[in-house]
Chains A and B, each alone.
Chain A
Amino acid sequence: MRAPTYFIFAALLDGPLHGYAIIKRAEELSDGGVRMTAGTLYGALDRLSREGLIADEGQEIVDGRARRYYRLTDSGLSALEAEAARMSKAAAVVRKSSRVAASRGGSQPVKPRPEMA
């Protein structure tokens, strides 16, 4: 799953949003890492709608402008959960490493393993 898709899902976790709100929310959640153009957003929304991962939640007119709301479907939610689990597992591989733990713990040098000494 690519980053824009992931953060579109994440943006929709708290409830239905319209196009611009999704862009802003995804930007916030990713600390500015994901800045989508409208083109990217709608390309992704179309694809995800086709795959049944998000759904159209109705339209309204605000200040004379069309706004369509999108919501996460159940299969969208499970896809997001599966992706989050995968990433957390992948992150655990790095966190478990003694070298990372050591570099976090202080400036101790990494001890060479006995067979390498």
Chain B
Amino acid sequence: MSGAERSYRIALLSFPKAYREERGDEIVATILEGGETRFPRLRELLGLFWAGIGQRGVKAGGERTAGSVRAGIRLGVFALFWLNLVAATPLLYWRIFPPLPISSDAPTVSPFDARYTYAWPVVGLLILLALSRGWWATPLAITCGWILLGFLVGEPWRETAWWPNSHWQWNVAAYKDSAFVLLLSLLVILARPRKGEPRDLRSPLWAVAALAWIALSVCTWHFGWSFVAHASSGLSPVTMYAHSGPTWLFTWFSLISVVAVVITWLLLGWRDLRLTIAVATLTTYACLDLAFPRRHADPYFTASFNFLVGEFLLLLMIALPIAIGLLGRRRVSS
């Protein structure tokens, strides 16, 4: 296989798997018949990529259907749960290598009850696995159970959100995050696939990827490369740096969100509404989070090189689950 052919086959990954297996050889043969070149032709590569995305849109159950809106919401919520699982990293780090390896102006962690540190990633992981299997009611059950547990151990609404970002503010924002998790859990139930729609299963490898990322950031942080962990914690939900942010930040972020949604729509149009809806779900959540600022500024995240690199990684990490989420396995329920 020549280098060019290999590139075309990589671009073929944008097609649904079943389609690729059936037609992939034929499509590549058609390109190669136009003359074997040493390097792949960019025009063909881009053409393949877009055709693949379009094919996914067709497969997702058609255009402009309520089904694709629901699929988009599920994708967005899945990405949010994934991001927030990854965001548990700094807490784990603190638990594994106390004290926090940060400057002296860092918040003291004394009021923080570490009993649940290991529970958060586990709960996040369970929810992620449940969603990948198509058990749409499980997140709601787990979240309600978690809140109930808070009441039982005498800490109602306090440190009871397993959503990791609240815990940097200890008990201030936990109730808000619990409310958001409840909201998302309800949303995913409302957006569950109806009879005859694809079941929208995703690979359990997503959970493995989150764990790998957490492990990577904890380890690299230990060696002083904190930007990976900066990105991880910033992932929940994009606004970690900005939770005490002024109004202009909210306005700015809302604007960027609208632009992101519009760009996605312009790129994919009606062919695949899922991605647009997924981006809208993600950004709406982040905007809502900003609309309810927390009371304390977090001195932990300061402008620095690490911050910038972290932010770049952050964008990458947001784009990744959405993009690869599209590669999730889908089966049509009988």
Contacts and interface: CB of A to CB of B under 8 A. Distances in A.
A42 B27 contact: yes
A38 B34 CA distance: 10
Interface of B: 23, 25-34, 43-44, 46-52, 54-55, 58
A20 B33 CA distance: 7
Contacts of B26: 19, 59, 66-68
A65 B30 CA distance: 9
A39 B27 CA distance: 8
A65 B48 CA distance: 18
Given A19-B27, A46-B55, A39 B33 contact: no
A40 B27 CA distance: 11
Contact of B25 (A39, A40, A43, A65): A65
A39 B48 contact: yes
A37 B47 contact: yes
Interface of A: 18-20, 23, 37-43, 46, 59, 65-68
Given A19-B30, A20-B33, A39-B52, 16 more contacts: A18-B30, A19-B27, A19-B29, A19-B33, A37-B43, A38-B30, A38-B44, A39-B47, A40-B47, A42-B27, A43-B54, A59-B26, A65-B25, A65-B32, A66-B25, A66-B29
A19 B23 CA distance: 11
Contacts of A23: 30, 34
A65 B51 contact: no
A19 B51 CA distance: 15
Nearest to A41: B30
A39 B53 CA distance: 10
Nearest to A68: B26
Contacts of B25: 65-66
Choose among A23, A37, A39, A65 the residue with the greatest number of B CB atoms under 10 Å from its CB: A39
A13 to B, nearest CB: 20
A67 B52 CA distance: 20
B54 A20 contact: no
A59 B30 CA distance: 13
